[in-house]
């Protein structure tokens, strides 16, 4: 389709293209571009383009530009508008090109649309997800404080049936939380690639694995007979070889640096060499930063061993010295004698050598290994006195 003269492309939803007529106006000495009209375009059976002006905009309201449309399907396109200076969402019936109402004021930029619901949401501390029935767009929204903002990343959120589909980000589990409550959140994929795509039939499509990378593929998430989300693999994605940049084995653990995530990253597996060798689930440790200008010329060495203990700062004995930087009272340095496994990633560029990652592990009272990472590339004295940070 060729956009008609005077219209700017604003998105495709189902078989409908959204176009906007723009106008530049002066606002307090600054030029501002506004959308004065929104059009719905589609191709008829004889190949011609049908152009329809959207009607029903409330008196005194205006379209939001850029991004007049937030979501849509074959039946409706949800436009962003301002009424009295506050943002709203306004569904437009594709059959008539007319607005059918608008929501209460919205306070978040993300837009959700499913066969049953319209929603808006943000991310970050204190953000919420607000949902209204698609059949009653002006209703008081249902406010969800769960999933928590820290458990969803960016705007990658979807709706399947009466469940919110969300994720914390790349390589984290894909989760489902019921909109109306009554059930605990459940894990759908153990890892996925962060992106989720909502389909017109009410399903959500995501790339990841139910158990990990061994069953990596494209999955469709649909509503089951009992209303709960059902995961079905529709495309198998064969694993790609990743060049190993570093390798170390010590204390029953295999550590590897490779590019399986697109950049150099350190991973570890528990290793059992008694009888038939067995290995555990791969865990992410930390990215490997720094290059020699050409990454392929950088020689990486993984050094693994056991440290008998180290000295660290006791945060309980910090004190503020007036007019000076934070100091430490006598005895603030304590010696931790618990044995730790230490993994250092060393990068060699010619004759120069630098630490680009350090990981220390200790055993808690239950005997479980707890990874702890020292951030940055500290020298020997800094490593001795630094307080570990959890991974």
Ordered DSSP codes for 72-96: E-SSEEEEEEEETTEEEEEEEETTT
Domain boundary at 212, 239, 266, which?
239
Which residue in the block uniquely carries the two structure tokens 């769960």?
A: 146
Length, in residues, of the chain: 391
Any idea what the Cα angle at residue 23 is, between residues 20 and 26, rounded to 5°?
145
> Are 250 and 382 contained in the same domain?
yes
Which residue blocks in the chain are alpha helix, DSSP H? 380-385
> Are 60 and 15 contained in the same domain?
yes
Which residue in the block uniquely carries the two structure tokens 């049953």?
A: 116
- Using one digit for the tens of pLDDT, what is the confidence trace for 202-238? 999 999 999 887 899 999 999 999 999 999 999 999 8
Contact status, residue 79 vs residue 87, Cβ threshold 8 Å: no
How crowded is residue 190: how many other Cβ atoms within 10 Å of its Cβ?
17
> Are 84 and 191 contained in the same domain?
no
- pLDDT above 90: residue 119: yes
Stronger pLDDT, 306 or 104, i.e. the higher one: 104
Residue range 126-140: mean pLDDT, rounded: 91
pLDDT level of residue 325 (50, 70, 90 thresholds): very low
> Are 92 and 110 contained in the same domain?
no
> Are 258 and 369 contained in the same domain?
yes
Q: Given strand 16-27, what is the order of strands in its sheet?
A: 8-13, 16-27, 30-43, 49-53
> Are 215 and 123 contained in the same domain?
yes
The pLDDT, as a whole number, for residue 362 is 43
Residue range 4-25: mean pLDDT, rounded: 94
The strand pairing partners of 250, in sequence order, are: 253
> Are 177 and 80 contained in the same domain?
no
Structure tokens at 298: 């950088």
Q: Which of 45-54, 277-286, 309-318, 376-385 has the lowest mean pLDDT?
A: 376-385
Cα torsion through 281, 282, 284, 286, rounded to 10 = 140
The mean predicted confidence, pLDDT, of the chain is: 79
Domain boundary at 81, 99, 117, which?
99
CB burial string 220-247: b at 16+ within 10 A, e below = bbebeeeeebebeeeeeeeeeeeeebbe
Residue range 298-321: mean pLDDT, rounded: 53
Using left for φ > 0, alpha for ψ between -120 and 50, and beta otherwise, residue 332 falls in: alpha
- pLDDT above 50: residue 4: yes
The pLDDT, as a whole number, for residue 139 is 96
Which residue, among 358, 356, 363, has the nearest Cα to 373 in the 3D structure? 358
How much of the chain, in percent, has pLDDT values that exceed 70?
Answer: 70
Residue range 241-252: mean pLDDT, rounded: 78
Pick from 137-141, 256-260, 306-310 the range whose average pLDDT is largest.
137-141
Domain boundary at 36, 67, 99, which?
99
pLDDT level of residue 320 (50, 70, 90 thresholds): very low
Stronger pLDDT, 348 or 384, i.e. the higher one: 348
Residue range 65-69: mean pLDDT, rounded: 89
The pLDDT, as a whole number, for residue 363 is 44
Domain span at residue 231 reads 103-239
Distance in angstroms (rounded) separating the CA atoms of residues 376 and 386 = 11
The pLDDT, as a whole number, for residue 328 is 46
> Are 213 and 258 contained in the same domain?
no
How much of the chain, in percent, has pLDDT values that exceed 90?
Answer: 42
């Amino acid at each position: 389709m060729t956009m008609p003269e005077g219209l700017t492309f604003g998105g495709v939803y189902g078989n409908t293209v959204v176009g906007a007529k723009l106008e530049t106006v002066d606002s307090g000495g600054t030029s501002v571009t506004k959308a004065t009209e929104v059009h719905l375009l589609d191709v008829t059976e004889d190949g011609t383009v049908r152009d329809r002006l959207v009607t029903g905009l409330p008196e005194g309201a205006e379209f939001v530009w850029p991004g007049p449309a937030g979501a849509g399907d074959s039946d409706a396109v949800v436009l962003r508008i301002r009424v009295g200076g506050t943002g709203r969402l306004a569904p437009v019936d594709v059959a008539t090109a007319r607005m059918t109402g608008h929501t209460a004021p919205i306070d978040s930029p993300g837009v959700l649309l499913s066969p049953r619901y319209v929603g808006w949401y943000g991310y970050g501390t204190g953000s919420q997800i607000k949902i209204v029935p698609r059949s009653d767009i002006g209703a008081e929204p249902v406010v969800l404080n769960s999933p928590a903002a820290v458990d969803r990343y960016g705007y990658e959120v979807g709706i399947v049936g009466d469940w919110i589909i969300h994720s914390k980000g790349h390589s984290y589990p894909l989760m489902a939380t019921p909109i109306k409550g009554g059930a605990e959140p459940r894990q759908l994929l153990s890892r996925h690639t962060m992106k989720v795509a909502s389909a017109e039939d009410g399903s959500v499509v995501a790339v990841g694995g139910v158990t990990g990378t061994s069953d990596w593929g494209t999955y469709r998430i649909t509503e089951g007979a009992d209303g709960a989300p059902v995961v079905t693999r529709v495309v198998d994605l064969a694993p790609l070889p990743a060049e190993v940049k570093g390798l170390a084995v010590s204390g029953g653990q295999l550590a590897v640096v490779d590019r399986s995530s697109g950049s150099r990253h350190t991973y570890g597996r528990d290793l059992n060499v008694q009888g038939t060798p067995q290995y555990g689930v791969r865990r992410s440790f930390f990215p490997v930063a720094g290059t020699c200008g050409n990454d392929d010329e950088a020689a990486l060495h993984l050094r693994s061993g056991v440290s008998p203990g180290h000295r660290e700062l006791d945060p309980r004995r910090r004190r503020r010295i007036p007019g000076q930087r934070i100091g430490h009272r006598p005895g603030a340095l304590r010696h931790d004698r618990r044995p730790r496994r230490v993994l250092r990633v060393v990068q060699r560029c010619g004759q120069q050598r630098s630490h680009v990652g350090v990981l220390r592990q200790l055993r808690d009272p239950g005997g479980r290994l707890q990874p702890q990472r020292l951030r940055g590339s500290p020298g020997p004295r800094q490593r001795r006195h630094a307080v570990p940070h959890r991974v």
